[in-house]
């Protein structure tokens, strides 16, 4: 089984990214769930929701938790979830190139997959002048 993916973002980001990745790849991103955090949501509520939804994932190969913004409520909840997991890594700065890279390298072990995700996210950022 592949490393599980948990996307925790602000509203209208996580589900949109998963849907877009599915449409681009013409296949779903397996063993992945998305949680979106409303601006006024108490962190404890989101953490409880995430804990319930984690039971739908196969996490024996590890858990990669992806958030949109370091220091935000989704990120803080992600770090709390990580503390409760045996093998988990949190990555902030989630973007579509990162998610596509993850979808194409799911067979990699957790640490290698996390490294691949960061590189994919970074390489998807470029400045085009003229």
With respect to residue 126, please indicate whether it lies within any of the assigned structural domains.
no
Q: How far apart are CA 5 and CA 1, in angstroms?
A: 12
**Are the beta carbons of 74 and 8 closer than 8 angstroms?**
yes
With respect to residue 64, please indicate whether it lies within any of the assigned structural domains.
yes
With respect to residue 103, please indicate whether it lies within any of the assigned structural domains.
yes
**Are the beta carbons of 46 and 73 closer than 8 angstroms?**
yes
Closest CA to 37 of 5, 75, 90, 4: 75
Range of the domain at 108: 4-121
Q: What is the pTM of this model?
A: 0.95
> What token pair was written down for 56?
């739908």
Tens digit of each residue's pLDDT, the chain (130 residues): 799 999 999 999 999 999 999 999 999 999 999 999 999 999 999 999 999 999 999 999 999 999 999 999 999 999 999 999 999 999 999 999 999 999 999 999 999 999 999 999 999 999 999 8
CATH of the domain at 67: 3.40.50.510
How many domains are there within the chain? 1
């Amino acid at each position: 089984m592949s490393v599980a993916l948990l996307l925790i973002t602000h509203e209208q980001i996580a589900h949109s990214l998963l849907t877009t990745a599915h449409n681009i790849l013409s296949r779903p991103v397996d063993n992945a769930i998305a949680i979106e955090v409303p601006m006024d949501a108490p962190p404890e509520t989101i953490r409880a929701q995430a804990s319930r939804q984690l039971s739908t994932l196969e996490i024996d190969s590890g858990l990669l938790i992806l958030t949109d913004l370091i220091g935000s409520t989704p990120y803080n909840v992600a770090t709390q979830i990580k503390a409760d997991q045996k093998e988990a890594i949190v990555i902030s700065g989630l973007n579509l190139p990162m998610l596509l890279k993850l979808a194409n390298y799911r067979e990699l072990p957790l640490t290698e997959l996390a490294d691949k995700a960061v590189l994919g996210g970074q390489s998807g950022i470029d400045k085009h002048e003229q």
